[in-house]
């Protein structure tokens, strides 16, 4: 047999294979293995048709032109759809026997290519593993494939709510959010997902001859958090909940960026206002939000707020007194009804803008308390190229104490070249702005940390052949012959 590089079969795999991609390092799924999987799951849940495998091999990586250029040809050799943990164990055991890379897929709403296989093999779709197992007090126990929207609706029916959820909550799975996400709606109060106490327990399966269940508790769960499924397949989660509030939604606009920003700052830093969302956006974003255009006067910057209904009247009056326009108040309703401002914040803002402005991309930047000055200097250095969108999250002070408000800038920027992206990021960092590079699908490309080392150590124990989403976790072993097949991304 020949090398698997450039789409050729690799040693140990049968020559009769479903070879669907010529990308370097591609590992095909042999016909005999397809038949074995069909015997386990039934023919309807083993996918080999090229168009469907292509769909199941992709996420929202196209937000980044860097990722799009390097990942659009990458795909699996086949995909399977799982409905039970027992089925998942059997599939993982088969992958281990046949040396097949395994990439786990949830709702595929990630933006970094988290669930795009770099070297073929199997995509394992977990959306059928979707039971809500228990809601007991302030803890929900749920299978990894459950959609976030269904979990939120179920817990709200008991007087609780998720501490943090993504703007993609309708499509996202809860396991995918934990495996590939970091923050979202609610983070202005509760912080990111990695804050101790939010994730109570994770159950994982190892990828071995006989897959084992591993249980991680409390802070130990961070070893598998935001690991892209590289060091264990999450099957079940326990998350702590918050008391449910009656959230009103408020849209506030104004023609003067400084006045709108000052109001956003005051609300963001006021701990006395219960809030779940605060988004601050420049006028250009408003023209992209087609369903909301009638609310948003041309040339107005705007704020999205989701606040406890007890704060609504006071905030509306304060905004009007500051000369701002209260464009819309959407009273609390259970269940939520359209329009939902949360679906026009976070990376949904980016989605709407990229659709309206081809040739643009985005960054993820953490600013300081002087965020207005930092953002102004960034725009001055790259005039007309950087469009401002802020979210606000709760984090930790240098002392380790929780409660620091962190302005997060998710600017949409004109894409000129990879070198230009590096220049923008380097200048931002020279201003004291922290950058989380969204133009790579590798964890740890920015350098090693204790958290990364803990993830690598877990992978060594759970994935002895290095078959789980190989290549995504920098510093971890990959199967022989595949290391040189991995694409290079934007290194900063």
Which among 90, 1, 107 is positioned nearest to 46, based on CA atoms? 90
Residue written as tokens 């089925």?
87
The two beta strands, 78-81 and 122-125, are parallel
Structural domain including 172 reads 132-244
Position 7 pLDDT exceeds 60: no
Last residue of a domain, which of 206, 224, 244?
244
How much is the average pLDDT of 460-484? 95
Backbone angles phi, psi at 191, to 5 degrees: 80, -170
What's the pLDDT score for residue 337?
86
Q: What is the DSSP string of 139-184?
A: EEEEETTSBHHHHHHHHHTTTEEES-B-TTTTT-BHHHHHHH----
Residue 472 lies in a domain: no
Q: Which two tokens stand for residue 354?
A: 């990229």
236, 294: one domain: no
Kindly tell me if the per-residue pLDDT of 10 is higher than 80: no
Tokens of 81: 């759809």
The DSSP annotation for 359-385 comes to: TEEE--EE--TTHHHHHHHHHHHSTTT
| Domain contains 461 | no
What end-to-end distance do the CA atoms of the chain give, in Å?
Answer: 39
387 with 285, same domain? yes
Mean residue pLDDT of the chain comes to 94
Q: Which of 12-16, 166-170, 422-426 is the least confident region?
A: 12-16
CA angle, residues 181, 182, 188, in degrees to nearest 5: 135
**Do 138 and 121 have their domain in common?**
no
CA distance 236 to 144: 5
| Percent share of the chain, pLDDT over 90 | 92
Split into its structural domains, the chain has a count of 3
Whether 157 and 233 map to the same domain: the answer is yes
Residues 264, 358, single domain; the answer is yes
> For the segment 26-61, what is each residue's pLDDT rounded down to a tens digit?
999 999 999 999 999 999 999 999 999 999 999 999
Q: Which of these three, 217, 244, 271, is where a domain ends?
A: 244
456 within some domain? no
- Do the beta carbons of residue 453 and residue 222 sit within 8 Å? no
Residue 14 has what pLDDT?
A: 34
**What is the domain-level CATH number for residue 211?**
3.30.465.10
- Predicted confidence (pLDDT) per residue in 293-309, tens digit: 999 999 999 999 999 99
pLDDT above 70: percentage of residues in the chain: 95
- Does residue 289 sit within a domain? yes
Residues 281 and 426 in one domain: yes
The whole-number pLDDT of residue 86 equals 98
Read off the pTM.
Answer: 0.93
d(CA 422, CA 401): 33
Pairing of strands 139-143, 102-105: unpaired
Please check whether residue 351 lies inside any domain of the structure: yes
Instruction: Categorize the per-residue pLDDT at 18 as very low, low, confident or very high, splitting at 50, 70 and 90.
Output: very low
Residue 281: predicted pLDDT: 98
According to DSSP, the β-strands at 275-281 and 360-362 are: unpaired
We report the CATH number of the domain holding residue 77 as 3.30.43.10
* Residue 116 and residue 137 in one domain: no
pLDDT tens-place string over residues 92-116: 999 999 999 999 999 999 999 999 9
CA geometry: angle 196, 202, 207, nearest 5 deg: 135
**What value does the mean pLDDT take over residues 412-417?**
97
SS3 419: helix
CATH of the domain at 251: 3.40.462.40
In a domain, 36, yes or no: yes
Same domain, yes or no: 264 and 137 = no
Note the pLDDT of residue 9: 38
Cβ 184 vs Cβ 165: under 8 Å: yes
The Cα 95–Cα 467 span in angstroms is 8
> Using CA atoms, how far apart are residues 454 and 462, in angstroms rounded to an integer?
12
- 330: helix, strand or coil: strand
Neighbours of 215 (CB within 10 A): 12
Q: Is the pLDDT of residue 159 over 50?
A: yes
259, 408: one domain = yes
Coarse DSSP helix, strand, coil percentages of the chain, rounded to the nearest 5 percent: 35, 25, 40
Tell me which range, 364-368, 446-450, 488-492, is most confidently predicted by mean pLDDT.
364-368
Check whether 5 has a pLDDT greater than 50.
Answer: no
* Residue 133 pLDDT: 98
Which one of 195, 222, 244 terminates a domain? Answer: 244
Question: Nearest Cα to 131, choosing from 235, 243, 204?
Answer: 235
User: Does 448 fall in a domain?
Assistant: no
Confidence band for 492, pLDDT divided at 50, 70 and 90: low
Domain match, 285 and 424 both: yes
Q: Which two tokens stand for residue 26?
A: 């591609």
**pLDDT tens figures, 367-405:** 999 999 999 999 999 999 999 999 999 999 999 999 999
254, 191: one domain: no
Place of tokens 């509760």: 190
**How far apart (Å, rounded) are the C-alpha atoms in residues 470 and 104?**
11
In a domain, 457, yes or no: no
pLDDT of the residue at 490 = 79
What is the arithmetic mean of pLDDT over 202-218?
98
Q: Is the model's pLDDT at 149 over the cut of 50?
A: yes
Same domain, yes or no, for 42 and 73?
A: yes
Q: What pLDDT score does 17 carry?
A: 45
CA–CA dist 393, 186 (Å, integer): 8
């Amino acid at each position: 047999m020949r090398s698997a590089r450039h789409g050729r079969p690799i040693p140990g795999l049968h020559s009769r294979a479903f070879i669907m991609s010529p990308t370097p390092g591609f590992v095909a799924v042999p016909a005999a293995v397809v038949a074995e999987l069909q015997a386990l799951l039934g023919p309807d849940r083993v996918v080999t048709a090229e168009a469907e495998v292509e769909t199941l091999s992709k996420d929202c990586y196209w937000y980044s032109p860097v990722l799009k250029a390097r990942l659009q040809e990458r795909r699996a050799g086949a995909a399977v759809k799982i409905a039970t943990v027992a089925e998942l164990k059997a599939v993982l055991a088969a992958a281990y026997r046949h040396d097949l890379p395994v990439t786990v897929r949830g709702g595929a709403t990630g933006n970094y290519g988290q669930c795009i296989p770099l070297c073929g093999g199997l995509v394992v779709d977990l959306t059928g593993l979707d039971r809500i197992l228990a809601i007991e007090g302030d803890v929900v126990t749920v299978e990894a494939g459950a959609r976030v929207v269904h979990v939120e609706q179920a817990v709200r029916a008991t007087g609780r709510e998720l501490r943090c959820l993504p703007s993609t909550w309708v499509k996202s799975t809860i396991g995918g959010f934990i495996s590939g996400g970091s923050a979202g709606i609610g983070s202005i109060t509760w912080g990111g997902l990695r804050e101790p106490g939010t994730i109570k327990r994770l159950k994982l399966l190892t990828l071995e001859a006989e897959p084992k269940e591993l249980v991680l508790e409390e802070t130990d769960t961070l070893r598998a958090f935001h690991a892209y499924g590289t060091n264990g397949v999450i099957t079940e989660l326990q998350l702590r909940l918050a008391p449910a509030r009656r959230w009103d939604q408020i849209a506030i606009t104004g023609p003067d960026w400084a006045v709108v920003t000052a109001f956003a700052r005051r609300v963001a830093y006021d701990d006395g206002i219960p809030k779940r969302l605060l988004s601050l956006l420049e006028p250009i974003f408003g023209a992209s939000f087609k369903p909301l255009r009638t609310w948003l006067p041309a040339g107005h910057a705007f704020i999205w707020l989701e606040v406890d209904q007890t704060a609504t009247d006071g905030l509306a009056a304060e905004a009007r007194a500051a000369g701002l326009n209260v464009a819309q108040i959407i009273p609390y309703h259970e269940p939520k009804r359209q329009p939902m401002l949360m679906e026009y914040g976070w990376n949904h803002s980016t989605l709407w803008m990229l659709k309206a402005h081809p040739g643009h991309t985005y960054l993820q930047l953490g600013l300081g308390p002087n965020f207005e000055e930092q953002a102004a200097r960034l725009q001055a250095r790259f005039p007309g190229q950087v469009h401002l969108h802020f979210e606000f999250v709760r984090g930790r002070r240098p002392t380790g104490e929780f409660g620091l408000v962190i302005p997060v800038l998710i600017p949409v920027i004109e894409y000129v070249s990879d070198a230009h992206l590096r220049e923008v990021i380097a200048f931002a960092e020279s201003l004291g702005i922290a950058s989380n590079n969204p133009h790579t699908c590798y964890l740890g490309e920015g350098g090693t940390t204790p958290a990364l080392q803990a993830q690598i150590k877990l992978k060594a124990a759970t994935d002895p052949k290095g078959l789980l989403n190989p290549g995504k976790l920098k510093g971890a072993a990959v199967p022989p012959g595949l290391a040189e097949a991995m694409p290079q991304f934007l290194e900063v």
